[in-house]
Each structure stands twice: as C-alpha cells, then as structure tokens.
Amino acid sequence: MFRTLITLGFLACTSLTWADTLTLGASVQLTGPVANTGRYYKDAYEFAVERINASGGITVGGVHHTLALKLLDNQSDVNLSVRQYVQLLSEDKVNLLLGPFASNFVLADSAISEKFQVPMVQGGGASDQIYSRGYRYIFGTLPPASNYFGTTIDTLLKLTPKPSRIALLYADDAFDVSVAQGARAQLSQAGFQTVIDERYTSNTSDFTSLLSRIKSSAVEVVLVAGHETEALNFIRQAKSLSVSPKLYAFTVGVPSADFRQALGNDANYAGGMTAWLPSKSLKDAWFGDAEQFARAYQAKYGYEPDYHAASGVATVEALVRAIEAANSLDPKKVRDALAQVNFPSLYGQISFGATGQISLPQTMIQVQNGKVVAIYGPGGFLGKLQYPMPAWGKR
C-alpha cells in the first residue's frame, strides 16, 4: 500500500517544534482506475499546505502551528478508504480530515468522521445523498449534483430553434444518479421530451447500443452524467458510428486539459460545466487571485488545474479559517466554526449551508478550437455556443 507523510512549510519562529504540528489526514486515490482525478486532490492539498505554511502557518491560542499532511493511497478501493480513515483517526491521530475524490467514497468515508466526531471537509463528492443523512461533521465544496445540468438546460431553452428530443444517460453511482434525478425534473419542467432515459454501468467502455438508439430516435441533445473515461469512450464511439446529435454535454472531463489532449480535435464542440474558472475576480488571501493560482499550479505540477484542484485547495483553506475562528484544535469547536465560515477564495465565496454543502453556480462551457470557452452562467450568455455541431464528416 502506497503511503506517504508530507510535511510542508518553514518554521515561522525558531521555537516551533514537532509538538506544534497540526496534521490533516486524507485517503486519496493515488493509484487505481480513478487516480488521474485523485491526483488533483493530492496536489491541491499539498499546494495549499505549502502556501499557508509559507505565510506563517496558523496561530491557535498564542501557539504557532505548521501544517502537515498524512495522505494514504486507497488504490481506488472504497473499502480500503474506509479502513484508512479509521486508521488516520484511531492510530495516526491526525487532527482533522480532508476528503477523497468521488461521491461513493465520500458517502462511505464520512460515516467514519461522523462516528469519531471529527470534521471532514471534502471537495470531491457532490451527490445530494451525502448531505441528506443529517450528518454534522461533513462539509463539501462542490455544489449539489442535482443541479449540475442546470445551466446547460437553461442554455437549451435559449436556443433557436429550441431542441425538443433529449437523451439522458447516467452511470449507476451516487453522484451520477443524483445528477440524473435533478436533470430529469428540470427537463420536464422546461418542457423537453426525454426520449431516452438510461442508466448504464459505471466504467463501461461500450456505448454502441446506446449510440444506435440515439441515432434511430433522432435525438438532438445528449446529456451524459459519468466519468471522464466514459465521456472519452462515448465521443470516440460516436465518431466511429457517425452519430452526430446537435449537442452533447458531459458532467466531467470537459474542463480538463487531459480530456482535450486525449481527443485532440475530436474534443471540439463537447459541452460541459464547471463551478470554477481561473478568473482574476476571485481573490484569495494566500494565492492572490485564481489566475495567479492557476499559473503557479501549472508551473509546479505540469498540468492545468480545473475545478477539482480549486475545490481541493478550498477545503484546506476552509479548515484553516475555521481553526482560526475557533481558536482551538478541538474537533467539535472547529466543526461549529466551519458551519459559520464565510470568506472569499480563489474558488469562490466559501460558506456552507445547513447540511454542510456549498452553493456555487455552475457555468456551461464548450470546447472550441481546443480551448474551454464559458458559454452560459447565472447571468446569461458569456460566449457563443457552437450549435448545432457539424456532422463528423464535415468537421
């Protein structure tokens, strides 16, 4: 089992000792099927801790503390992740918790933080189910999954002519089921005809049957709630089968540079959404603004950050703000302070609702000429949607 202890930062004064170390623990997907996204969280946690320590760390009750990370590799295994969170709290005695990637992991792991009454702030799980159980020690920086397609559906309503025949496809995990539940209701309310509403098995590699149905049903718009590898497979197979709806949009992948690199020109016209874009307007106490953060992150790790990275950084910052507000390391006091935090960050305004979940607007995006372009947000159009997509043979 891959296991690492990362201690970052410099000592703000010569009197600091290991007794003054405040350790944040997490189980993260560093290997296994979802490690490509899991790395965002490892890198984001590391970068945030490094920057906060470089600014002097944290002072609690007049005592200076430097932050440390205890990260364990769950190998993309939910059962292992649960055992590792037990280990982090019962054996490793970390002070507070950060989360893993993916809603099904957060659903399982947050039961451990609740049992031990130690707050977990996580930026990797958005499923509404996480927050419907009445748990008090889970906080999240991703907006509700049930509204992930909200701005996409708003965009469809503004198109002339408005499309009418929609396909909704979704994987069978907690996040994607929540996305589909919300999208289904929004599509119905908006007056769209959902001609295909189909759940598929997570990590599927074969969309041939569904694509054939899309083609034969004259579907105009396809909404896909799934994982990045599934989005890649869907587009590759759509090309091979010459399936060309007027638009397709995905919950994940589109904001990522890896997605565009994997598909090359075939990534063009793909729609998606994101809760974060690197804007100068997003100011941050430790990184300056989101543009500065994005440049520094890419320089350090060699790839562009997307909303996963920004969300991960925000979880560390939220814990630091709460510790400072509580002026204590007592988990219950930190938990109460987390429920009250309200501060600007490179990710957006951080303030948790009554259930512990943040509320941030999604922006619809589209890949155009190899770049991510903002299309539609809460205030209306931000850019021009390339619609309808041209047939594969005419690109």
Instruction: Convert the pLDDT of each residue in 203-261 to its tens digit.
Output: 889 999 999 999 999 999 999 999 999 999 999 999 999 999 999 999 999 999 999 99
Domain ranges of the chain: 3-143+278-350, 147-274+362-394
CA 149 to chain centre: 14
pLDDT at site 20: 86
Q: Is the pLDDT of residue 12 over 80?
A: no
Classify the phi-psi angles of 203: left when phi > 0, otherwise alpha if psi is within -120 to 50, otherwise beta. left
Domain 147-274+362-394 class, CATH top level: alpha beta
Q: Is the pLDDT of residue 287 over 70?
A: yes
Contact present, 53 and 67 (Cβ < 8 Å)? yes
pLDDT average, residue stretch 380-385: 97
pLDDT at site 2: 41
pLDDT at site 300: 98
Task: Compute, in degrees rounded to 10, the torsion defined by CA atoms 92, 317, 308, 78.
Answer: 20
Same fold? 3-143+278-350, 147-274+362-394: yes
H-type helices in the chain, by residue range? Answer: 35-54, 78-90, 103-116, 150-157, 174-190, 208-216, 228-240, 257-263, 290-301, 307-326, 331-338
Q: Is the pLDDT of residue 344 over 90?
A: yes
Distance CA 271, CA 168 (A): 14
Q: Give the pLDDT band of residue 181 (cuts 50, 70, 90).
A: very high
**14: burial class by Cβ within 10 Å (0-12, 13-18, 19+)?**
exposed
pLDDT at site 232: 96
pLDDT at site 30: 97
- Between the alpha carbon of residue 224 and those of residues 11, 300, 349, 385, the distances in Å are 48, 32, 28, 18
Q: Is the pLDDT of residue 3 over 60?
A: no
Q: Is the pLDDT of residue 8 over 90?
A: no
pLDDT at site 241: 97
Task: Compute, in degrees rounded to 10, the torsion defined by CA atoms 31, 35, 40, 42.
Answer: -20
Q: Give the pLDDT band of residue 4 (cuts 50, 70, 90).
A: very low
Instruction: Convert the pLDDT of each residue in 88-128 to its tens digit.
Output: 999 999 999 999 999 999 999 999 999 999 999 999 999 99
Q: Give the pLDDT band of residue 6 (cuts 50, 70, 90).
A: very low
Contact present, 110 and 137 (Cβ < 8 Å)? yes
pLDDT at site 9: 38
pLDDT at site 325: 97
328-345: b or e for each residue (b if 16 or more CB lie within 10 Å)?
bbebebbbbbbeebeeeb
Instruction: Convert the pLDDT of each residue in 204-220 to its tens digit.
Output: 899 999 999 999 999 99
Q: Is the pLDDT of residue 16 over 70?
A: no
Q: Is the pLDDT of residue 137 over 90?
A: yes
Bridge partners for 60 per DSSP:
63
The CATH code belonging to domain 3-143+278-350 is 3.40.50.2300
Q: Is the pLDDT of residue 14 over 60?
A: no
Distance CA 95, CA 68 (A): 10
- 153 compared with 2, residue with greater pLDDT: 153
Q: Is the pLDDT of residue 5 over 50?
A: no
Instruction: Convert the pLDDT of each residue in 149-162 to its tens digit.
Output: 999 999 999 999 99
pLDDT at site 19: 40
Q: Give the pLDDT band of residue 318 (cuts 50, 70, 90).
A: very high
**Residue found under tokens 């002519």:** 161
Q: Is the pLDDT of residue 312 over 90?
A: yes
pLDDT average, residue stretch 44-71: 96
Q: Is the pLDDT of residue 169 over 70?
A: yes
Contact present, 257 and 294 (Cβ < 8 Å)? no
Structure tokens at 231: 């989005």
pLDDT at site 203: 84
